[in-house]
């Protein structure tokens, strides 16, 4: 803060420090009084009459102008009509939002699986295994392509793709259903699991 000639003129017009309840004015007074007379005369700016630095006119005129501002109450409570209108508008918006939300299709979480089904030995009929696996049907389960993949020593495993709806079908359900036929199937593994 750099004091100016306006500060010097107002300071000279005061008869003493302002009361302690006017803490900002008292802080300003103490700041300006920390300078001596020669320093105050050296403040930048042009020296004018005291009336040039304050508001124009006397205090009664400014008080009358201030009274005009009291007509507007920014924190006044609204009348019942405005409150009812606001409540109606709010209710309309909520209903529109609910209707829009209901129209929006729900996203069904799906997963793509690649299942390995292993037989007991090389003499097991792989066509029977595939027929048994494809016979497993449930809501949210779709079997895809399959192929026979060599494991070793002439044994082949069935590798079959499936798409499941996560909310309806679990991998535990698939494992229990596939390994239920212990005569044909030794084990089942999930080779790949991808969210769609």
- DSSP secondary structure of 63-107: HHHHHHHTT--TTPPPPHHHHHHHHHHHHHHHHHHHHHHHHSPPP
Give the pLDDT score at 85.
86
DSSP, collapsed to helix, strand or coil, labels residue 13 as helix
Q: What is the chain's pLDDT, residue by residue, as a tens digit (196 residues)?
A: 788 888 888 888 888 888 889 999 899 899 999 999 888 888 888 888 888 876 664 444 445 555 555 556 566 565 677 888 888 999 999 999 988 888 777 778 899 999 999 998 888 889 999 999 999 999 999 999 999 999 888 889 999 999 999 889 988 999 999 999 888 899 999 999 998 8
For the full predicted model, state whether its pTM sits above 0.85: no
pLDDT at site 77: 60
* pLDDT for the residue 146: 93
Place of tokens 């900002």: 24
pLDDT recorded at residue 57: 46
- In the numeric block, the tokens 């049907």 are attached to 137
Sole residue written with tokens 């105050």: 40
């Amino acid at each position: 803060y750099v004091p100016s000639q306006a500060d010097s003129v107002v300071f000279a017009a005061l008869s003493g420090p302002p009361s302690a309840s006017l803490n900002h004015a008292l802080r300003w007074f103490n700041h300006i009084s920390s300078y001596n007379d020669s320093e105050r005369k050296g403040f930048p700016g042009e020296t004018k009459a005291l009336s040039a630095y304050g508001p124009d006119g006397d205090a009664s005129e400014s008080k009358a102008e201030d009274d005009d501002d009291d007509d507007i109450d920014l924190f006044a409570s609204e009348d019942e009509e405005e409150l009812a209108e606001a409540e109606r508008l709010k209710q309309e918006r909520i209903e529109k939002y609910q209707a829009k939300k209901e129209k929006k299709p729900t996203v069904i979480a799906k997963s793509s699986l690649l299942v390995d089904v292993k037989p007991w030995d090389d003499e097991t009929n792989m066509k029977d295994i595939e027929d048994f696996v494809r016979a497993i049907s449930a809501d949210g389960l779709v079997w895809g392509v399959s192929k026979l993949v060599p494991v070793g020593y002439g044994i082949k495993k069935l590798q079959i793709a499936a798409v499941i709806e996560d909310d309806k079908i679990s991998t535990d359900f698939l494992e229990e259903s596939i390994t239920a036929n212990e005569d044909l199937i030794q084990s089942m593994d999930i080779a790949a699991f991808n969210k769609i």
